[in-house]
Chains A and B, each alone.
Chain A
């Protein structure tokens, strides 16, 4: 197990390096840099531009160096916990993103758990009642859930909430607790607001997962050992829980790798619509303003979230599924 873990961690290093290079290229893509945008804005406002000061800022942020040097400086800084400087907010990036990053992790984890719980319940229910009314309803709902983009779902929910109940469902916490230090009041406020984004982000993932669980379970239910169990006189529920369900549960863990990018993607745009204090809006603004280190840190963090999530799912799978041989990575 340890060698497997070490092996997986080792493989992660080049992946993360490639991702960081990609992120850096993307945030470098727009022509010019933030200082040029700033000069343009100052000129537009008719302010005098102090070229000397600009030049010293350029040196201070290393913008005068070659892109390769800048990349390694950025990478080295990140490894030491220094994510660079946000030009727009005039604060270190790490101060800005800390809380948002934590909340993003909370929302993502809650969404994954939501997907698991709901799709487990519905998937098992409909698979054991193939072609029944509830099965057809679930299938239709699944198609709709897959086809409705989550930001539109968020929009509709917000509209309905304000139309029917006259309340605003946006935000990740109440405004009163926003400035408070982290404590029970703040946490409970977050929990109260959490369910809407979780449902909105999780719907399409749940629909997909129900489909997969249903198909898997139907395959298993036709197998001979199930027939044997039934012939032996096992009660249906016990039979279901004891064997086929356990086999069919594999995608719950194995598919995190494909669901997680979707959930993280979804949380970014839903956060903008629902006005959540997670990565979404600040990333959008940073991208628009060419605030490169802020945008880069967000992108890097989102990718890291996916990579680590996939790692955890692989480890869990190795623990839970005895058919997976751990030596596979080294002796392939």
Chain B
């Protein structure tokens, strides 16, 4: 072979005939890929999951809603059951050991004595009477029968029952001998739904009014803004008081319930309407909104189908922050005796009994419904904070 030969024989231009995959060049780890491909809601869920307290609060609230939904099963006594032998009886505490010997969960029976001077009944725990608790039991004692959800079916199956012939007042009894613990569980049903129904109403109002104001702008916007300012400058509670005092006395308790819910929602929408409005004002200039408009979509469709979903996550977050305010509002009104009326029982109605300070000093367990109120409000606040942080997952 000569040198000239090698000069002629050039290297052929190399072309790889395997198809080119740019994705293979920019190597994404599976974790990264999962992150970039995830939908907005999935990202929010991941972000929320990192917020431990918010998740714990969510689970707590969910559990509470389950308990409230099946209050008949979880509560040892029926809502209206009175035990005339135990008026203002103090709480019985659950014990495990009797004189150093393990017996399993039980309470000591109570014995009634009368104060020799005032003749007030006094209840003492009697260490001689051990009343073992029964679990998953078919009642068979007074106050055990219930009509599930006001008459869906009748039953007397409970999570926990007092011993036969015994009592189980975990949080004491009230002035009619009704078990406070059971009543708090039943009260959860009303207190926790009033927030949900109220927020649905207030959402409907807020999105409709804020949507109209933000979408149309101009004088409609001006009027709505002024109305919101007037409503906001009004101290809320006195206005709630005045409105609920104006509900007709002849209404049945169930109508009062709906009336109060509407009143609560009526003062809650301004904040939401304002948020919706400001979001809409900025979003309606976006290309996708203009595109929808050019395709001939009408305003309700543009607002409802295109604009609202793009900030729905913010709405959910502000809802979970608004629910506790409604729960507190209902509690305050019922506490003052202006809100719900018995036989409808909420935590506020129960607290109404604690309005008299003399009674509270003698029977401090009347204040017990305050604990679930504070816990629920705290949980909703934590959950709301977590949701608000998660609402903008791209940050």
Q: For residue B379, which residue of chain A has the nearest CB?
A: A147
A147: shortest Cβ distance to chain B, in Å? 4
Most B CB contacts (10 A, CB to CB) among A18, A151, A299 go to A151
Of the candidates B230, B331, B357, which one forms a contact with A170 in the assembled complex, judged by CB atoms under 8 Å apart? B357
Assuming A15-B230, A149-B331, A266-B237, is B242 touching A155 (CB within 8 A)? Answer: no
Q: Are A158 and B235 in contact, CB atoms less than 8 angstroms apart?
A: no
Q: Are A261 and B235 in contact (CB under 8 A)?
A: yes
Specify the chain A residue showing the minimal Cβ separation from B351: A152
B360 & A152 in contact (Cβ 8 Å cutoff):
no
In angstroms, Cα B271 to Cα A182, docked, is: 42
Instruction: Give the distance to chain A from B340, nearest Cβ to Cβ, in Å.
Output: 16
Task: Contacts A18-B230, A30-B248, A155-B360 given; indicate if A268 touches B370 (C-beta within 8 A).
Answer: no
Tell me which of B236, B332, B373 has the highest count of chain A C-beta atoms within 10 A of its own C-beta: B332
Contact with A along B221-252 (1 / 0, CB 8 A): 00000110110111111110111011010000
* Given contact pairs A22-B234, A284-B336, A287-B241, A159 touches B378 in the complex (Cβ within 8 A): no
Set of chain B residues within 8 Å of A30, measured between Cβ atoms:
245-246, 248
- Smallest CB–CB gap between A16 and chain B, Å? 9
Residues of A within 8 A of B234 (CB): 19, 22, 261, 302-303, 306
**With A and B bound together, what is the CA distance between A298 and B361 in angstroms?**
32
Contacts of B238 in A (CB 8 A): 264-265, 268, 279, 283, 298-299, 302
Give residues 358-395 of B contacting A (CB, 8 Å): 360-361, 364, 367, 370, 373-374, 377-378, 381-382
B236:A152 contact, CB within 8 angstroms: no
Q: Is the CB of B374 within 8 A of A287?
A: no
A26 within 8 A of B: yes
Contacts of B230 in A (CB 8 A): 15, 18-19, 22
Does B215 count as interface, using CB distance less than 8 angstroms? no
With A27-B242, A155-B354, A159-B367 known as contacts, the answer to whether A310 contacts B378 (CB < 8 A) is no
A146 at the interface (CB under 8 A from B): yes
B236 near A156 with CB under 8 A, answer: no
Q: Which residue of A lies closest to B246 (CB)?
A: A29
User: Do A159 and B235 have beta carbons less than 8 Å apart?
Assistant: no
Q: Which residues of A contact B367 (CB under 8 A)?
A: 152, 155-156, 159
Q: Is the CB of A143 within 8 A of B236?
A: no
Q: Are B241 and A284 in contact (CB under 8 A)?
A: yes
Total cross-chain contacts (CB, 8 A)? 126
For residue B118, give the distance in angstroms from its CB to the closest CB of chain A: 18
The listed residue (B229, B355, B377) touching A15 by CB distance below 8 A is B229
Taking a contact as CB atoms under 8 Å apart, the answer to whether B360 and A26 are in contact is no
Within 8 A of B (CB), among A287-313: 287-288, 295, 298-299, 302-303, 306-307, 310
Please, which residues of chain B bring their CB within 8 A of the CB of A266? 237
Which single residue of chain B is at the shortest CB-CB distance from A15? B230
CB distance from A307 to the nearest CB of B (A): 5
Complex CA–CA separation, A265 to B241 (angstroms): 10
- List residues of B (323-338) whose CB comes within 8 Å of A's CBs: 324, 328, 331-332, 335-336, 338
> What CA separation (Å) do A306 and B232 show in the bound complex?
10
Query: Which residues 162-198 of A sit at the B interface, judged by CB distance below 8 A?
Result: 162-163, 168, 170
Q: A254-267 CB contact bits vs B (8 Å, 1 = yes)? A: 00010001101110
Cβ–Cβ contact B235 & A264, under 8 A: yes
Q: Chain B nearest CB: distance from A305 CB in Å?
A: 8
Partner of B233, one of A31, A155, A306: A306
Q: A162-B357, A265-B237 are in contact. Are A299 and B242 (CB under 8 A)?
A: yes
Task: List chain A residues, Cβ under 8 A from B235.
Answer: 261-262, 264-265, 268, 302-303, 306
- Contact-residue bracket for chain B: 35 or more
| Pair A29/B243 contact, Cβ less than 8 Å | yes
C-alpha spacing A31/B249, complex, angstroms: 10
In the bound complex, residues from chain B placing their C-beta under 8 Å from that of A307 are 233
How many chain A residues touch B (CB < 8 A): the figure is 50
Q: How far is the CA of A241 from the CA of B335 in the complex (A)?
A: 45
Decide: A269 and B374 in contact? CB cutoff 8 A. no
Known: A18-B226, A26-B246. A269 touches B378 (CB 8 A): no
Which residues of A lie under 8 Å from residue B233 when comparing CB positions? Answer: 15, 19, 257, 261, 303, 306-307, 310
CA A19 – CA B242 in complex, angstroms? 14
Contacts of B328 in A (CB 8 A): 149
Interface: A93 (CB within 8 A): no
Complex CA distance for A148 and B53, rounded to whole angstroms: 18
A52: Cβ under 8 A from any B Cβ: no
Q: Which residue of A lies closest to B355 (CB)?
A: A273
Question: A147 — which chain B residues lie within 8 A by C-beta?
Answer: 324, 374, 377-378, 381
A30 CA / B355 CA spacing, docked (Å) = 26
Given the known interface contacts A29-B243, A158-B357, A299-B242, the answer about A148 and B374 at a Cβ–Cβ threshold of 8 Å is yes
Q: In whole angstroms, how far apart are the Cα atoms of A266 and B238 in the complex?
A: 9
Partner of B370, one of A146, A152, A257: A152
Question: A15-B233, A261-B233 in contact; A283/B241 too (CB < 8 A)?
Answer: yes
Complex Cα–Cα for A82 and B158 (A): 62
Contact partners of A19 in chain B: CB under 8 A: 230, 233-234
Q: How many Å lie between the Cα of A197 and that of B236 in the bound state?
A: 19
C-alpha gap A18/B224 in the complex (Å): 13
Bound-complex Cα distance A163 to B332 (A): 24
How far is B246's CA from A287's CA once the two chains are assembled, in angstroms? 8
CA of A158 to CA of B364, assembled, Å: 11
Bound: A287/B381 CA distance, A = 32
Q: Which residues of A contact B364 (CB under 8 A)?
A: 159, 163
Cβ–Cβ < 8 Å partners of B243 in chain A: 26, 29
Quick check: B239 and A299 within 8 Å, CB to CB? yes
Partner of A31, one of B248, B332, B351, B381: B248
Query: Which residues of B are found within 8 Å of A264, using beta-carbon distances?
Result: 235, 238
Q: Write out the residue numbers on chain A whose beta carbons fall within 8 Å of the beta carbon of B381.
A: 143, 146-147
A144–B232 CA distance with the chains assembled, in angstroms: 25
Q: Which residues of A contact B354 (CB under 8 A)?
A: 155
Interface assignment of A14: CB less than 8 Å from any CB of chain B: yes
State in angstroms the CA–CA spacing of A107 and B357 once bound together. Answer: 22
The closest CB in chain A to the CB of B369 belongs to A152
Pick 11 A–B contacts, CB within 8 A, sort by A.
A15-B233, A19-B234, A26-B246, A30-B246, A147-B377, A261-B232, A265-B235, A265-B238, A269-B336, A287-B245, A302-B238
7 nearest A-B residue pairs (beta carbon): A29-B246, A265-B237, A287-B245, A264-B235, A147-B377, A265-B235, A147-B378
Given contacts A155-B357, A303-B233, 13 further A-B pairs with CB under 8 A are A22-B234, A26-B246, A27-B246, A29-B243, A29-B246, A146-B381, A149-B377, A151-B332, A152-B351, A159-B357, A264-B238, A287-B246, A310-B233
